[in-house]
């Protein structure tokens, strides 16, 4: 499945690669790997040695918790046998010793083995401190740019940005949903449906997919609705043929006539509010979900729906 081709200038996300989240370091690269890197995100420094039994238990727990933070915290490992001068400068008297740096300064730390719950809590405190002390991450910036490009009608540029994010975070819900929206905007319903069905159940339930899931549902119904001229003729012949009017609404939406589609659903409600177990209202709500809560169409037709329901 090839992505939509497009060129776009994206923020630098080099610091988000998995190899940089957890890395070995030394006295020579300590300033760059820890002090400079901590200007952007908290950096945990694990002082260890191959002969240290507790280190072999603590290290993997730290790595797991740091990787679960998905780039919001980084980890640097220092073998004190190979970096004795650095250990002396930092007054490391026993191992394991763990320091945390943020914005160039030590901010937290502990000595000795810790239970997994304490390790996770330690990393989570750092993640929260980092989020409170910095602006949007490069990935967040890229997603914002991609969404802006998609809203501006440039699906190619948006697709390129979303694809770049996914190279660094393959299960990022916003980027996956954005790429799906790009396929839909380009009219590639088949690829969008295939990609959506390939997602895990957990991902499909993420709020980021609400709009594209609604769009896919609408497109599928539109494909089965029938031809617009024939449906318009049916409705003109019998104004109370609500099924024909409902099918017409779906066909109109499928052809890009969104307001006309909403008009037909509202007309069904005006004539028979309870038709098909309140089917017209439910479908209109699906339209709103597909359009998004801030779309002018959603705002205007939600107002019209409220007026009709409470009149």
The residues assigned a catalytic role are: 52, 55
CB 197 within 8 A of CB 162: no
Nearest-angstrom CA–CA distance, 298 and 311? 20
7 CB-side CA count, 13 A:
0
Q: What is the 3-state secondary structure (H, E, C) of the chain?
A: CCCCCCCCCCCCCHHHCHHHHEEECCCCCHHHHHHHHHHCCCEEEEEECCCCHHHHHHHHHHHHHHHHCCCCCEEEEEECCCCHHHHHHCCCCCCCEEEEEECCEEEEEEECCCCHHHHHHHHHHHHHHHHHCCCCCHHHHHHHHHHHHHHCCCHHHHHHHHHHHHHHCCCCHHHHHHHHHHHHHCCCHHHHHHHHHCCCHHHHCCHHHHHHHHHHHHHHHHHHHCCHHHHHHHHHHCCCCHHHHHHHHHHHHHCCCHHHHHHHHHHHHHHCCCHHHHHHHHHHHHHHHHHCCCCHHHHHHHHHHHHHHCC
In terms of Cα–Cα distance, which of 211, 212, 221, 204 is closest to 279? 221
């Amino acid at each position: 499945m090839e992505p939509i081709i497009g060129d776009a200038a994206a923020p630098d996300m080099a610091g988000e690669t998995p190899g940089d989240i957890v890395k070995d370091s030394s006295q020579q690269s300590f300033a760059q790997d820890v002090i400079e890197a901590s200007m952007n995100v908290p950096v945990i420094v694990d002082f260890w040695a191959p002969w240290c039994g507790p280190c072999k238990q603590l290290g993997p727990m730290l790595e797991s918790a740091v990787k679960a933070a998905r780039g919001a915290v980084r980890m640097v490992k220092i073998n004190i046998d190979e970096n004795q001068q650095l250990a002396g400068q930092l007054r490391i008297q026993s191992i394991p010793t763990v320091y945390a740096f943020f914005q160039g300064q030590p901010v937290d730390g502990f000595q000795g083995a810790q239970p997994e719950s304490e390790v996770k809590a330690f990393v989570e405190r750092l993640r929260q401190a980092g989020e409170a002390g910095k602006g949007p991450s490069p990935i967040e910036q890229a997603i914002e740019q991609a969404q802006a490009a998609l809203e501006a009608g440039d699906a190619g540029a948006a697709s390129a940005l979303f694809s770049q994010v996914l190279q660094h975070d393959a299960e990022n819900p916003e980027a996956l949903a954005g790429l799906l929206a790009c396929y839909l905007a380009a009219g590639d319903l088949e690829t969008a449906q295939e990609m959506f069905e390939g997602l895990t159940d957990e991902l499909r339930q993420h709020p980021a997919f609400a709009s594209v899931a609604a769009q896919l549902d609408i497109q599928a119904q539109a494909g089965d609705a029938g031809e617009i001229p024939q449906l318009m003729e049916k409705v003109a012949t019998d104004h109370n043929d609500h099924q024909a009017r409902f099918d017409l609404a779906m066909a109109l939406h499928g052809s890009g006539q969104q307001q006309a589609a909403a008009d037909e659903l509202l007309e069904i409600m005006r004539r028979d509010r309870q038709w098909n177990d309140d089917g017209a209202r439910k479908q209109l709500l699906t339209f709103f979900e597909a359009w998004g809560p801030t779309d002018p169409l959603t705002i205007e037709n939600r107002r019209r729906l409220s007026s009709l329901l409470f009149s």
